[in-house]
Amino acid sequence: MKLLSKFIIIATFVLSSNIKIIAQEQKSVDKSLGGVQVDIPPLHVVMDSVLKRNPLVRFRSQDIDLKKEALKSEKIDWTKNFGVQATTVYGNFNNFSTNEDASSVTSAFATTSKQFNYQFGAYFKIPVLDVINRNKRIKFKKIQVSEAETMLAHEQSLVRQAVIEKYEDLILKQRLLKLKAENLGNGKVNMQMVEKEFRNGLVPVAEYVRLSDMTMRIESDYELALSKFLVAKKVLEDMAGFKFGITQLQ
């Protein structure tokens, strides 16, 4: 019975120590992450935003619009051969007329009057060379539109590939950063325990120095991972045109 009581006391002490270490570990991890977590938006959200903002994609899209307008103009270019003309004149007009009576006597009359004269008409031209080359010109404009659309699709493909690579790189760097943060938290907790044992004379100096150097390397690895993550995050944010969300850790 006494043996069972001792076992329960020891198990309770070990469990309490593990819970305390885990709590210290989590606190250390949160502190090393700055108390925040970056919420990376879905890939399709980032992709749509980058495609809308990319200067080369916008340039290719505008080039298509220009070439389509040129094609429309070419198709209705034949209408320039049709037209109407109108002229108006207002002023003093001298009118001269003659009159011959039965006795073959000719009389002349001259009058001056103010008049408003106008003329109206239509015209139609058939330029043979334009008629012959019209289909060729339209075909050429269609080829230009198709070429511009192909260039746009190619540019969009390049942008998508770049976004996918940078997005997956950011996800990887975030995961590595979490691993480094957890490792750093564990290292600091272990170092605290080693420092206590060192002060109590339970750990040799050489072992204490070795563990201190190891902890410093772990912290250095974490800082490097953090820097790489922040750079990748800012690059993708700049491409997308908006900041990623941040969640405050409890």
Give the DSSP letter string of 130-182.
HHHHHHHHHHHHHHHHHHHHHHHHHHHHHHHHHHHHHHHHHHHHHHHHHHHHH
Distance (Å, whole) CA 26 – CA 209: 25
- CATH number for the segment(s) 34-72+135-248: 1.20.1600.10
Quote the pLDDT of residue 235.
95
Domain ranges of the chain: 34-72+135-248
pTM for this predicted structure: 0.64
Q: Please, what are the averages of pLDDT over each run of 10 residues along the chain (250 residues)? A: 37 38 38 64 95 94 92 79 69 63 59 67 67 83 93 95 96 92 87 82 81 88 91 94 73
C-beta pairs of 165-171 under 8 Å, 24+ apart in sequence: 166/232, 166/235, 166/236, 166/239, 167/40, 167/43, 167/46, 167/236, 169/232, 170/40, 170/229, 170/232, 170/233, 170/236, 171/40
Quote the pLDDT of residue 54.
94
